[in-house]
């Protein structure tokens, strides 16, 4: 489904990514492990079109997506849950979710002519909202609250919910458990498995590498902008280099 080929990202003279290649197949959970500054966020930013590639290419199915801006990659089915959640704190929960549906509206622009198009678009947004409330009932209760007043866990749910509003086929998650209590981390990981079971493909960056590998099919280890080790989740959990460097304390 997703293919990254020899992708490099540069910030002036600093290299964020150096010729990274990886694949995420349909229905997989793939995790990226690595220390701070290894290039994990640069990788997700490059895939979603937030930062441009210096060289290499990125493919979604048979379509080259490198070079496309992020609103286009969202329209093609990539939902991005960025590091630090980046919800709109002064806006209501409801408005945050509606913003997430923007690409759903843009994608269906051609069919918005006339009543049927309007109805289809409205019903997709409505059914996505119901999906989000099914996963996170608390968001329905908080609908008119300012997003900034939610707890950290609720804000993460909102960030995931907002991404789901665009009807994604694939989710890119950057450290979704950062700053959350251990029980919430477990909840988020369980939710990721549930989303995969419901048909989504997942690329997950997670600081708790052990917990991430326990739910993942495969993983890649990044060091200084490169992929240094790759394998099935089981192989990585058993790899001495990975164990020593990355598999410390885990909530799982």
Ligand X SMILES: Nc1ncnc2c1ncn2[C@@H]1O[C@H](COP(=O)(O)OP(=O)(O)O)[C@@H](O)[C@H]1O
**Which residues of this protein are in contact with ligand X, per CB under 6 A?**
11, 14, 16, 34, 36-42
Shortest distance in whole angstroms from residue 10 CB to ligand X: 9
Residue 31 CA, chain-centre distance (Å), reads 11
Under the criterion CB under 5 A, does residue 73 sit at the interface with Mg ion? Answer: no
Shortest distance in whole angstroms from residue 4 CB to ligand X: 14
Nearer to ligand X, 41 or 166 (CB): 41
Tokens of 150: 């939610």
- Choices 40-48, 52-60, 142-150, 209-217 (CB under 5 A): range interacting with Mg ion: 40-48
Query: Whose CA is closest to 31, among 250, 210, 203, 178?
Result: 203
Under the criterion CB under 5 A, does residue 41 sit at the interface with Mg ion? Answer: yes
Backbone angles phi, psi at 114, to 5 degrees: 85, 175
Tokens of 228: 């240094």
User: What is the rounded distance in angstroms from the CA atom of residue 87 to the CA atom of residue 99?
Assistant: 10
Q: Are 16 and 9 in contact (CB under 8 A)?
A: yes
Instruction: Reduce the secondary structure of 174-198 to three states and give it as a string.
Output: ECCCCCCCHHHHHHHHHHHHHHHHC
34: partner contacted, choices ligand X, Mg ion, none (Cβ within 5-8 A by kind)? ligand X
Give the x/- contact pattern for Mg ion in 173-212, rule: CB under 5 A.
----------------------------------------
Tokens of 244: 């020593």
Under the criterion CB under 5 A, does residue 48 sit at the interface with Mg ion? Answer: no
Shortest distance in whole angstroms from residue 136 CB to ligand X: 26
147: partner contacted, choices ligand X, Mg ion, none (Cβ within 5-8 A by kind)? none
Q: Are 165 and 93 in contact (CB under 8 A)?
A: no
42: partner contacted, choices ligand X, Mg ion, none (Cβ within 5-8 A by kind)? ligand X
Give the interface with Mg ion as residue ranges (CB under 5 A): 40-41, 83
């Amino acid at each position: 489904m997703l293919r990254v080929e020899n992708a490099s990202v540069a910030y002036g003279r600093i290299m964020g990514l150096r010729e990274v290649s990886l694949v995420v197949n349909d229905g997989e959970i793939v995790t990226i492990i690595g220390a701070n500054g290894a290039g994990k966020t640069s990788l997700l930013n490059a895939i979603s079109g937030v930062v441009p590639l210096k060289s290499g290419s990125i493919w979604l199915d048979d379509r080259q997506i490198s070079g496309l801006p992020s609103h286009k990659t969202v329209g093609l089915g990539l939902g991005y849950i960025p590091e630090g959640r980046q919800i709109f704190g002064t806006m209501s929960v409801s408005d945050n979710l509606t913003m997430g549906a923007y690409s759903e509206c843009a994608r269906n622009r051609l069919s918005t002519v006339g009543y049927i198009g309007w109805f289809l678009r409205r019903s997709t947004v409505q059914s996505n909202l119901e999906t989000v409330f099914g996963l996170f009932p608390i968001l329905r209760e908080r609908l008119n609250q300012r997003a900034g007043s939610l707890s950290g866990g609720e804000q993460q749910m909102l960030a995931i919910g907002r991404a789901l509003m665009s009807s994604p086929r694939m989710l890119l998650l950057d450290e979704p458990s950062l700053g959350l209590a251990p029980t919430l981390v477990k909840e988020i990981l369980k939710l990721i498995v549930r989303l995969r079971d419901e048909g989504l493909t997942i690329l997950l960056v997670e600081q708790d590498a052990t917990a991430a590998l326990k739910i993942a099919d495969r993983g890649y280890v990044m060091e200084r902008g490169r992929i240094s080790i790759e394998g099935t989740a089981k192989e990585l959990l058993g790899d001495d280099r990975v164990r020593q460097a990355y598999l410390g304390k885990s909530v799982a």
